[in-house]
Chains A and B, each alone.
Chain A
């Protein structure tokens, strides 16, 4: 039991990233409000960044800025790759928000179920 808890403690960053990813996926799947879905996508992106940073971590390591202090530096490569990821997530968020603005102008609602109902009604009328 103690060993299992110790293992959970050692992997707490990875497990936290997995939990965050599942929370985001749950938000995307269960909510029909489009803004909440965009929030879910953002949470999933944050989980991926967290996982990457956790992979590059060295316990007690120095930040990757060269100094005279003795010690080992953390892995700088994941941090660099995550900068690209942040930019991509920002672009995706802004693009989906602008699409939501257009959807609201067209349908008068941002709830996906109501949009489906409106579409069904229009198809029935045709």
Chain B
């Protein structure tokens, strides 16, 4: 899209959208939101970038290599946090029994493994949104 107004506004807006997405992911256990909604927000900002600046520039920002790492990394974060529970408590994905500090209720550092799992889910959802959009839009060239 070759429109100077749209391009300038998009450049200004995208950092705020991404910051808000990260805020939603990190505050998933103390306020409405969480990994899914925050990841969708973050992915939407990259989809906006693709729509405005074209898929070639977007591929430089979010290449296949990054997408592979993010896809597998999201699940691996989730699984490795779950495996910690096997060694410390004997159960997969156990929170309090595995010895995660629960912290003070309502503060950012609370909830044991919940924020960590939310980060994994957020990475996974964000990269899934972008990868699916890129795959569908790049289909003509594959």
Residues of A at under 8 Å CB distance from B? Answer: 63, 65-66, 83, 86-87, 94, 97-98, 101
User: B1 within 8 Å of A by Cβ?
Assistant: no
- Name which residue of chain B comes closest to A64, CB basis: B32
Question: What are 16 pairs between A and B in contact, CB < 8 Å?
Answer: A63-B32, A65-B30, A65-B31, A65-B32, A66-B105, A83-B36, A86-B36, A87-B36, A94-B132, A94-B136, A97-B136, A98-B135, A98-B136, A98-B139, A101-B136, A101-B139
Residues of B at under 8 Å CB distance from A? Answer: 30-32, 36, 105, 132, 135-136, 139
Give A48 Cβ to nearest chain B Cβ, in Å.
17
Give A34 Cβ to nearest chain B Cβ, in Å.
15
Contacts of A63 in B (CB 8 A): 32
Q: Do most interface residues of chain A lie in helix, strand or loop, or is the interface mixed?
A: helix
Closest 10 A/B residue pairs (Cβ): A94-B132, A101-B139, A83-B36, A97-B136, A98-B136, A65-B32, A63-B32, A65-B31, A101-B136, A94-B136
Q: Do most interface residues of chain B lie in helix, strand or loop, or is the interface mixed?
A: helix
Beyond A65-B30, A86-B36, 14 additional pairs, beta carbon < 8 A = A63-B32, A65-B31, A65-B32, A66-B105, A83-B36, A87-B36, A94-B132, A94-B136, A97-B136, A98-B135, A98-B136, A98-B139, A101-B136, A101-B139
Contacts of A87 in B (CB 8 A): 36
- Name which residue of chain B comes closest to A66, CB basis: B105
- Name which residue of chain B comes closest to A83, CB basis: B36
Contacts of A94 in B (CB 8 A): 132, 136
A94 and B32 CA atoms in complex are apart in Å by: 27
A63 and B135 CA atoms in complex are apart in Å by: 38
